[in-house]
Structure 1
């Protein structure tokens, strides 16, 4: 009898334990309806998906961290106790502006209540195109244009800022995981990053010197994945026209309250044009930890080995003959770039108090750079270090809502730069050799005051210091070493901004900001050996007003601005083909930027779950207001290299079985290619598409297969023209119609 009673009790206890369940219910934040198909991941348990009501039941015996994801919603995680029932409201990826949070001017707020022209590029937007670069996704945003003169040769224009960038990225400040990714000399090697090194991005358009120092173009902040929520192995493979091959191997491993992740990417292509092959290998190792609830620590190592050929620009006759040909001399002289870069970063966040916090990030960087060109052969070895720290004080005066943000940034760079003659792709006799030292630093302060529940004011300013030394050790021309130094007096850059909150989902913003951009060493020290110390820093003032809001299914972001720039730096080419720089008086830049997006259909239970549209319009009406050189007056001419009108239309369709379709249309107006406005790049239309299928099976496996076509209309256009080019060599022909495809496989272990 005792045995029978004990057996019954044991069975009852076991049955009660087996029936003791925890549950999660996933609801759409906007509609309140249940979300089926949410993937729920629990360590050491099989994965599950929510049912048609958005419910999932879990058998857990202790406080457990659970992560969840859905293709149409933001991913996340939650702590769940035994026998606990919890409802989670998920934010759609296509969400209203009131739900999009951005860092912006170091102030984490909903985008709708940010004072400034800010665009955000989310992870899913990066992966709706060919995955060989970030170019296509960024070019869907108003006011932003990335050009590609050859595979891996990028140029970024934010509101016309590429005017002084014949190649490379200048006059735009770039950050990666809170560290200054822009070198101390003002240039940015954006091409060393693979798409997988970026998860989300924010772009501030126009001067942001009150927080980010020198630069008139704007700021781009990249962020890679910072949290490891599960043990995961992934493998990607992509192919495409012109010999494109790309594969990636990645692994994430949880360790205590943090984790480690590593990835390796190798991308190759033969290129559309002759002598335009590219080979890039990128390795990233990241370690994240949370020592306690007040601290987080992140360290990363990034190594990039990049090798790409430069086909060079063509004139109109050469384009007509064969747009795939390289510029004469490029092949024989092996015009190309080899670059090996190693970054080491450390970031620490500390919450001293619920109202006080600090984030500090430091980095070390070494670069080996080799650039045989038609006219010379350049070698550089660079070392730099720097960091950024920010203190935040929230509501420090009790009930009076004032936030103070204060901090500083410092960068130091040293480069051994040598220029040789080029004899059939080999370095010949040395022409000149310089030791280059660049130092940039600034302090910043910002006050945010909520005068009322609807009116927010931001006042910020920074104090900037810059210096560079050019110590010429060898000069084969003059045969006498020389030392040149240039310091820029401390410059204060202010910004005043106001936001009026119409309601939770709409607001009006206005701002006045100043910009300061000294010439880079690459602009002062040119390839033919001259040193132009007379080149002045650009100074500008930007006036801006905008509206962001939601009307039913519609999200509207509209900004109008006027930017007055003095001592504008422009580029030109001498009769030897060397790019030189000069100040061009002043420019007037008036513009309108608009983005409208909306989901015309959304039903998680139907076969077609979502249909959404987005439109982005850019109207840049820029002109030289005061510009005379060589006895010619260009005042009143359109600004070189800037299209007055650009329109982008996007259509995304997603289905319950996992099929999806992305369609993209881009119209670019004609672009003046010289200051005289006598040569133009014709207007063009680009249409692209991507069709794919993604699914999860067995609770542990993720799979996706996709294919797409770019330039469906087979347009003839140039993406990255040479401005004010000698001998009419303006054009860098872009590929015609081309295809791509790939597959991805992921496994949770």
Structure 2
């Protein structure tokens, strides 16, 4: 916290917690976050745009398979379910990362203190275990830059601690398109050891042709308190996705004719992905004394991927082609060390932290001819390496009851190496080296207008390197694109957080992001994407979140975002002139989530809620040749909990897109064949049952 609460405020906080306790999906006014300062503090006192989604909201949002189920509750972040498990979700914070045709760019993902984003800035949301998650935090704005390369924002996921009494939990979810998820969890406390072990088995036939998928996911967290000063947390995660088809995007004509179809080449070349990933991490925390603490982390992982692209056979046979099937064998590891100390300063104190992060990854990339789904001749053989070093410091100064300030600095260096082993006549040695470095400062100030209102303003610099995947292809088809530059950005933000009454909270933020050398899609075809640097871009927007408990039975939540993302100067991409003022493709210009929930006293444990989701438009390419239409959807959910002795049961029923509206869920930016559109499903149903037994 930035200032010490009065006795009256402590009484108010307790009353609010009592009023909001037990409300499924509610965001309490006293939610705890760590993203802004790397230390626990209430989100109301954090000097930045940061919100958290709790376990009850995660459980009420659906089968707990995709982040897209629940993240529309948070302003400033867009998570689009592409109905394509081969390409993962499209996740964007304030427009950063919207270019990504697969995986996560522009956002740092962290799970239980262990990065889920690689050193080059690419992350995977599919490996996050939602059934065992206790809360998800989203940090936007300048302070996110202190997390390093590609930190347009930070998403942190925290696995729940085991309950005091050991518990076994079984869950089953079912839904449209033969969606099935089975889960088994064991959790509890045994002496000084706290444990959570969760396993899920998921499958779906998919809404579109060639979009079926299967997943098995195991997540474990073991926390051992060696003594009052020292604790260790071991995190293990195993993910296996042996099947995921890729239906590809559709042209507008194809979407209008049959949105559930797949492009012919999708089935002809058996486009899709098989992927597995195993990771192990250890976090150690030690209190040196009453005012200082030291934490360290070490982790390592391995990822295997087989990806079948839908490139026409004729285009795969040229001397410089990398083929139409990709095999990756990736290993990665990292360490981090952080020191924090509280220092008295004047009327207040300074929370000082400093740390270093060292991360490495290496991958062996092979390319083969995709002969109608059958592996053909070798076309690419190379090793890629990325190493990243970051040193940072941050100071949070509680000056007095009325003012606080934050300042930070991070120095980053990211180095790429590519060693080409496939050298043939007409295919030269494409080995190369490139490195990027940046020093990014952040500074901010907060004005505390009493106990109920905080005003803050922040400014900071950031940078984003291309990922190893983004430098994989050049426009002429030969070798890695080592000419890509890193994007440099300046982030400014002003915001207000206020408690309108004892049971209402309002957060509003205004921001501006100016970027030069923005990394954009030059062309995308058949699953292969080529990138280039644009000139300057700008993003401005407003974000609003409002939560209220109107009566003991009624509550509401609203999350509103607007985003004006445009190219700020004219540039040329792939021989096409892109005019200044054009919208950046793949960026949604506005979004709204609204929820009204009812918990009748006459039916203890029962909840009913109506959700309204408004999605703005997205342009499909740099020249803004087409765009998606805005859409407003309505969802209904019912939930019921019962406790019978040592047994606890929870059931839910959801109907999404009640009006069965046809709309486009996401776009593939700059798709060469004009297959920009990824349709969203019509009316969908889902239900689930969880049975828990406490010993």
Q: TM-score, normalised by structure 1?
A: 0.85
1:669 alignment counterpart: 616
Q: How does 1:251-262 map to 2 (within 5 A)?
A: 251-262=186-197
1:625 Cα deviation after fit: 0.8
Structure 2 equivalent of residue 64 of structure 1? none
Cα deviation digits, residues 505-557 of structure 1 (max 9, x gap): 32000000111101111111128443222211100101110000101132110
Q: 1:596 to 1:35 in 2, by over 3 A?
A: closer
SS at match of 2:341: strand
Q: 1:372 aligns with which of 305, 308, 322?
A: 308
The question of whether the paired residues in 2 share the 8 Å contact of 1:234 and 1:745 is answered with: yes
Provide the C-alpha distance between the structure 2 equivalents of 1:276 and 1:227, rounded to a whole number of angstroms. Answer: 36
State the shift of 1:665 in Å.
0.8
- What is the CA-CA distance between 1:426 and the residue it aligns to? 2.0
Select which of 365, 369, 372 maps to 1:424.
372
In 2, Cα distance between equivalents of 1:663 and 1:99: 23
Query: How many Å apart are 1:651 and its aligned residue?
Result: 1.3
Q: 1:33 to 1:327 in 2, by over 3 A?
A: closer
Q: Match for residue 48 of structure 1?
A: none
Q: Alpha carbons of 1:521 and 1:638: their partners in 2 closer, same or farther (altered >3 Å)?
A: same
Match of 2:688 in 1: 742
| Aligned with 1:550 (options 492, 495, 499) | 499
1:642 aligns with 2:587: yes
Do residues 283 (structure 1) and 218 (structure 2) align?
A: yes
Correspondences of 1:433-444 after superposition (within 5 Å): 433-444=381-392
Query: 2-side partners of 1:35 and 1:545: how far apart?
Result: 31
Q: Residues 142 and 459 of structure 2 are in contact (CA less than 8 Å); yes or no, is this contact kept in structure 1?
A: no
SS in 1 for 2:564: strand
User: Closer, same or farther in 2 for the Cα pair 1:122/1:576, shift >3 Å?
Assistant: closer
Match of 2:672 in 1: 726
- Report the more deviating stretch, 199-208 or 331-340: 199-208
Give the corresponding residue for 2:465: 518
User: CA shift at 1:161, angstroms?
Assistant: 1.2
Structure 1 residues 393 and 28: CA distance shift in structure 2, 3 A: closer
Per the TM alignment, residue 137 of structure 1 is displaced from its structure 2 partner at its CA by 1.0
Note if 1:111 corresponds to 2:60. Answer: no
| Aligned match of 1:473 | 421
What is the aligned partner in structure 2 of residue 559 from structure 1? 509
Q: Which runs of 5+ in 2 are unaligned?
A: 1-9, 312-323
Q: Is 2:201 the counterpart of 1:266?
A: yes
User: Cα 1:94–1:327, aligned 2, differ >3 Å: closer, same or farther?
Assistant: same
One of 419, 422, 447 as aligned partner of 1:500: 447
**Contact (CA 8 Å) 2:335, 2:357: kept in 1 or not?**
yes
Q: 1:119 to 1:140 in 2, by over 3 A?
A: same
Note the C-alpha offset of 1:72. 3.3
Select the structure of larger CA radius of gyration: 1
Aligned residues: 663
Correspondence for 2:598 among 653, 673, 676:
653
Partner of residue 146, structure 1: 79
Structure 1 pair 530/408, CA: closer, same or farther in 2 (3 Å)?
same
Residue 537 in 1 paired to residue 472 in 2? no
> Is residue 114–residue 297 contact of structure 2 (8 Å, CA) maintained in 1?
yes
Question: Bigger CA drift: 467-476 or 190-199?
Answer: 190-199
Residue 392 of structure 1, aligned match among 340, 346, 350: 340
2-side partners of 1:219 and 1:649: how far apart? 23
Shift of 1:600: 1.2
- Distance between the aligned counterparts of 2:615 and 2:524, measured in 1? 29
Equivalent residue runs for 1:403-414 within 5 Å:
403-414=351-362
Gaps of at least 5 residues in structure 1 are 1-26, 37-68, 74-91, 603-609
Partners of 2:607 and 2:423 in 1: CA distance = 60
Matched-pair contact (CA < 8 Å) for 1:282–1:304: yes
8 Å contact from structure 1 (residues 433, 474) kept in 2: yes
Q: Distance in 2 between matches of 1:478 and 1:611?
A: 70
Greater mean alpha carbon deviation, residues 225-234 or residues 534-543: 225-234
Residue 709 (structure 1) aligned with residue 663 (structure 2) = no
Contact 2:554 2:598 in 1 (8 A): yes
In the TM superposition, 1:178-217 aligns within 5 A as: 178-208=113-143, 210-217=145-152
Q: SS where residue 139 of structure 1 aligns?
A: helix
Displacement of 1:479 after TM fit?
4.2
Equivalent residue, structure 2, for 1:296:
231
Instruction: Write out per-residue CA displacement over residues 349-383 of structure 1, whole angstroms, 9 at most, x where no aligned residue.
Output: 10010101012111110111110111200001111
